[in-house]
Structure 1
Amino acid sequence: MFTFDFSAGELQPELKQVFFHWRNAAEDGNFPRLTQFELPNARPAPNILSVFEIERTQSGEPADFKALYIRNKIINTLSRKYVGTRLSEHPGFGPGSMIWSCFHEVASSSRPLLAALPYVGPLPEYRSTSELYMPLLGEGVSVDYVFVGVVLLEQEYSHKAP
């Protein structure tokens, strides 16, 4: 389903562009900040991007993930409105779901993650997704956001471990 152990060569072309942009935006070994991506005009691959804010408990544990930004290409593949809502508010996306696990892993580990998930939206021609989750800093030094690139696939996709 997901892995932290991946190489750029395993990424879909659109995700590869996003990954290199994210990695090149990092400074002094720190993750890039959300403000470095100049949304909604982010380059490259702006149509596959979304940003979620990590909501944390008082002890710092991830509690939920609020959709702040989702590009039109992704919105058109979803059956519900997500911007301004939390994952836990959508059936099948809350705690225990595959997508929740991806967000939780990135928020907990502060590492980029590659995921292969089944597509569960309204478009019958798609069967799976290839998704890249990347941590972003907020105003301070903590990871406050998850930057996500999603590519829809007509075939089943699974990460092949090297």
Structure 2
Amino acid sequence: MGEVADLELGPGQSIFVGDPLRMVLAGLEEESRFPYVVEAAGYAVGVLTLQAGAARLAGWPDEDSAWLLRGFLIDRRHQGQGLGPLAATSAVDAAAKLTARRGTHEAGVVLSVNETNPAGLSAYRTAGFVDQGQYLGGSSGPQRTMYRSFTG
């Protein structure tokens, strides 16, 4: 966990995502959350959490047809290297495996990304997420709800 504690947010990112270590620890305390450490060359370079039954938090119409991808960040020192799209794609693959293992019926992954976060929007588009419209329920301003199915 020491490497996760050393992850750094980029300028202005704190309004979009919380402390990396706290996010991982919170994920370990809830059965519906599955935290992951993003690695590159054997080192922790980011974190993300998949959560079941929480898709409405991203503006999705129901709770159970999609996994919620939340708390996703890449360390500021590793941003701009293409790790975000790779990690987001890996998260979709992990969610598909979790769905099969749990015998549930999620068909993809949903997330919300702040409209003033062009790097995030671009990374998710590169990873195959499709914009599903504006979501105004976020705590840090207007969001875009984005979705990627397991099949594409």
- Tell me whether the two structures share a fold, i.e. TM-score over 0.5: no
- Indicate the structure whose relative CO is greater, using CA pairs within 8 Å and at least 6 residues apart: 1
**What range describes the TM-score normalised by the shorter chain of this pair?**
under 0.3
- Structure (1/2) with the larger helix percentage: 2
- TM-score between both structures, scaled by the size of structure 2: 0.28
Q: TM-score, normalised by structure 1?
A: 0.27
